[in-house]
Amino acid sequence: MLPLNPILPDDVQALRDTLPVKPAADTLTGRFVTLRPTDLERDAEVLYQISNGSALDINGKHIPAYDADEMIWRFMFSGPFESSEGMRAYMKGQVDAPNGLAYTVVNNVSGQVVGVINYLNNAPKDLKIELGSIWYSPIAQRTHTNLEATYLTLKHAFGLGYRRLEWKCHSLNERSRKSALRMGFSYEGTQDAHMIVKGRNRDTAWFRILADEWPSVQARQEALLAQ
């Protein structure tokens, strides 16, 4: 007889029936950023303004006009957008996702909206969830924003009892791949011809952190945040 893995403990089995498919809309607060569930009436216009390539002046920091496709949207499923209505339509799909939760990322010092991070493809029956559709304005790139937003979402999800957190990106997105590895995700492989995005083939690189890996990854991320 072929061997089987052991039956999981009762407390793990119970979690599969108690975690909601639509993640609870909890606000997550850190030292540098706060993650608040996206409200389209409040957030759509400002998200457009910080990501459309226009020059930015926020809290004494100046970002000249930039290529929004190159800096933000090239490997995303949509964008750049010609109007806030386009941003609103794009974000509505994430806000309304039955198995996901969109967060607007806010800088704690300036109070400025700086980007978006999502829980995606929530599968409580398997105790796994994905982080994705992540983007930040150039005003926040090369700061602690992405690291702490990722840290907060990982800490929250593992605290709820998830066993697996996934991170996927376009195989050509070197910035995302390096970010995942730097933060302690493990590369699992590339799924060829996974999707067609913006009329082009997308091979998808898969990364993950497991619950038993989280304590060491957490310490690593906290050390990076302290730098």
Confidence tier at 8 by pLDDT (50, 70, 90): very high
The string of DSSP letters for the chain reads ----PPPPPHHHHHHHHHS-SS-----EE-SSEEEEE--HHHHHHHHHHTTSS--EEETTEEE----HIIIIITTSSS---SSHHHHHHHHHHHHT-TT-EEEEEEETTT--EEEEEEEEEEEGGGTEEEEEEEEE-TTTTTSSHHHHHHHHHHHHHHHHT-SEEEEEEETT-HHHHHHHHHTTPEEEEEEEEEEEETTEEEEEEEEEEEGGGHHHHHHHHHHHHT-
Return the pLDDT at 61. Answer: 85
Q: What is the pLDDT of residues 82-129, one digit of tens each?
A: 999 999 999 999 999 999 999 999 999 999 999 999 999 999 999 999
Q: What is the pLDDT of residues 42-96, one digit of tens each?
A: 999 999 999 999 999 887 889 999 999 999 999 999 999 999 999 999 999 999 9
Domains of the chain: 10-225 (3.40.630.30)
